[in-house]
Structure 1
């Protein structure tokens, strides 16, 4: 069997022109600048995710910034390449789940021919209730737990036995489980996702449904199926079933009758959000302290801190003017303040003035005795810290010292922890 071709690019880095054409990249997929040296437009990736070519079975994978060297990725065997792709798509999905409980709606930044959210909602329904069944009543003569006296009187015969009136046989009410289009669509979603994306995203295993395959009638008439689902929803009263139908509709809207002949895509245009959430979790689990101008992380689970994103108004006249550091922790006992900001950048050269504002305003507010400031960026190599800014003493007073560290945090470790 021929090995699947995986083309690799990286978020924020140049995309070869042939890949722009091959995978039909457009719109938000890239930014471009005219290069005097090359005398042409140069394109740069603006997303993290994957695109499955409509021309053949090849894949374009756009890795996060500083996740891994591209040559290193290409030298891995296909199984390991799939594992990495699955890790990244899983991180996107987890960030979407987290954002459902915050005002930062990351799912609006994730687009493509696959809906993470609707797929997982359908899986959750299946895990909890099984396949949807339309329960109908039918009646059967004979004894049983649920006797229908009304049907028994109308359908059975009357007998006098030992002077007593007896109506026999009894008629019992039974429940008949009827499959319908909702059931068929659930099976389609689970099997279709396994077949199309099983190598690239974490899917719910449903081997008991494999024998049903992918119903071609659904692929051939997606619009008609969606219209039927809308009609069925008007006759359903339970919220969980309405939500199931809503998610089936969302999923099917991303599918069309030519789905195996056109590009399949999962693209995250704001992986910065994923990085921020992943860093927060990593800090809370593994961060130890700042020692000898290094942010120290342990391989063990420490759970010493509770970093969180905060939002604080600083202007009496304008409620909209707010300070929002990504990772904030104040130790009331030691009066130590930690203000860290995630920066999903390729490189940082300039002074981050916002971090200086955080230092002075929050330092005064908390009356902190010690303040640790750091910018945290993704890095392919081992985690390391360097002094990014060291403010000259003549700009400070009362023997103050202000240092802003630049922590290059190993991306692989952070994402692995995030998707556990």
Structure 2
């Protein structure tokens, strides 16, 4: 049951957490809470929630922390959207969740990354069924001449030699430990987290083995099997099973916390722009159209703009060239913007006068720049417009494009 929900960046209420039995991990390595500082002195005067995710208490109730500016319409349905969004990102960007990077970005006491690795194999290949050949006499199938010659009795009938019995290859499919492990990992996880996970179980009978109690023995066998397996996809499957059983623990408070939702926001917006961007209208607003998009390719591109130090470069989050127009967009995972965004202003100034390498003339007639932020609804504001007193050559404008984060997340999960 979902007991309470908050948003990333909300003020921390210690009494609320302890009265409901929700415990946060506040230490030097993973900061569930951030500090609010006074304006007069550099001193912490309060704390705020600094993650996105789920925390469980002793009664199996859940606290859900949604992203900044997420409009909750149905808490259970929106919790599924959030869980699926984080899970999809783990699947698309596993590099961000491995090693030291993983420790900084994400923590959970349940091995979801390994589960999704196992489920990916299941979705692509089905359950692991090893194809084995058994050689048996007089069973039909393909005749095995080598075994027949080696094992059969030889009888002479007049001038002919008769071999008996004849040995045949018989193709058998069998379930083994890997198959049973897959069934346990998939069906147990889907059952336990059915509030969030909308995936189909295997449809097979649950194995009659206590996988958690016997996990050390299972891990030992899996490691041996990995040494005997040579196909890349099968090796990856066994590696994910090893990771799962190395990390899984039954009991205790479940938690899943993402400490860098800004990285998910950045990747989601890239997909959103590539799928739905249509144009910039006369008011400098980004126009999105799910029925008639341009299907442009937005990418992170580097520009070496410093002639004094050519190795230095700038990299807007989303860059795209379309005919005589260039688009320079940047993702901002903020509740709101305070002050001028100097980085985006510098991008606009440095790139708007870019020359064509062949003609040595100005390459683009129009350059559009925008900051893209999460919001409860879609709207546009002007962030920066150069005062003509300072520059009347170019009409520099940067917009703030507020996207409905709920809609962006739903689109990302499809």
Structure-2 change in CA distance of 1:154 and 1:392 (3 Å): closer
Please tell me whether the aligned partners of residues 85 and 201 of structure 1 are also in contact (alpha carbons under 8 angstroms): no
Report the equivalent of 1:390. 385
How far has the Cα of 1:244 moved from its partner?
Answer: 1.1
Match of 1:60 among 45, 55, 63: 63
1:301 aligns with 2:297: no
> Residues 265 and 403 from structure 1, CA distance in 2 versus in 1: closer, same or farther, beyond 3 angstroms?
same
Contact 2:382–2:397 under 8 Å retained in 1: yes
CA 34–212 in structure 1, closer or farther in 2 if over 3 Å, else same:
same
How far apart in 2 are the matches of 1:352 and 1:169?
85
**Counterparts of 1:201 and 1:43, CA distance in 2:** 32
State the alpha-carbon separation in 2 of the partners of residues 385 and 320 from structure 1.
Answer: 36
For the Cα contact (< 8 Å) 2:51–2:259, is it kept in 1?
A: yes
Query: Quick check: which one's helix share is greater?
Result: 1
- The answer on 1:49 being equivalent to 2:76 is no
Work out the CA distance in 1 between the residues paired with 2:89 and 2:136. Answer: 52
SS at match of 2:203: helix
Partners of 2:160 and 2:316 in 1: how far apart? 85
**Corresponding residue number in structure 2 for 1:163:** 159
2:73 pairs with 1:82: no
Q: How many Å separate the matches in 2 of 1:33 and 1:294?
A: 34
2:108 paired residue number: 112
One of 317, 329, 337 as aligned partner of 2:326: 337
Could you tell me which of 86, 90, 100 is aligned with 1:96?
A: 90
Q: Are residues 1:201 and 2:200 paired?
A: no
1:30 corresponds to = 33
Could you tell me whether the CA contact under 8 Å between 2:141 and 2:170 is conserved in 1? Answer: no
Q: TM-score, normalised by structure 1?
A: 0.84
2:313 pairs with 1:322: yes
CA distance in 1, matches of 2:94, 2:305: 27
Of 187, 192, 207, the residue aligned with 1:191 is: 187
Asked if 1 retains the 8 angstrom alpha-carbon contact of 2:133 and 2:171, the reply is: yes
Q: Distance in 2 between matches of 1:319 and 1:233?
A: 47
When the two chains are superposed, the root-mean-square deviation of aligned CA atoms in Å is: 3.0
Structure 1 residues 147 and 266: alpha-carbon distance in aligned structure 2, compared to 1, 3 A threshold: same
Query: How big is each residue's C-alpha offset from its partner over 1:121-142, in whole Å with a ceiling of 9 and x where there is no partner?
Result: 3123223333223455433220
* CA offset digits 1:232-288 (Å, max 9, x no partner): 2223233222211111112223312xx2x2122222211112211222222233333
**One of 214, 220, 228 as aligned partner of 1:221:** 214
Q: 2: distance between equivalents of 1:6 and 1:280?
A: 33
- Deviations 1:89-122, CA, capped at 9 Å, x for gaps: 22223333443599x9986623213444432331
Residues 202/15 of structure 1: CA separation in 2 closer, same or farther (3 Å cut): farther
2: CA distance, partners of 1:128 / 1:86: 23
Alignment partner of 1:152 is 2:143: no
**Alignment-derived partner of residue 136 in structure 2:** 140
User: Unmatched 5+ residue regions in structure 2?
Assistant: 356-361
Partner of 1:262: 252
Cα pair 2:35 2:44 within 8 Å, conserved: no
- Given that 1:11 and 1:45 are in contact with CA atoms closer than 8 Å, whether structure 2 keeps it comes out as yes
- Contact persistence 1:17–1:43 (CA under 8 A): no
CA contact (8 A) 1:99 1:107 kept: no
The answer for the alignment partner of 1:278 in structure 2 is 268
Distance 2:136 2:271 in 1: 59
Unmatched runs of 5 consecutive residues or more in structure 1: none
Q: 2:369 and 2:117 mapped to 1: Cα distance?
A: 40
In the alignment, which residue of structure 2 is the partner of 1:417?
A: 411
Aligned to 2:283: 292
Shift, 1:52, TM fit: 3.1
Q: Structure 1 pair 155/107, CA: closer, same or farther in 2 (3 Å)?
A: same
What's the counterpart of residue 12 of structure 1? 9
Partner Cα distance (2:45, 2:212) in 1 = 39
Alpha-carbon distance, 1:291 to partner: 2.3
Q: How far, CA to CA, are the matches of 2:49 and 2:31 in structure 1?
A: 9
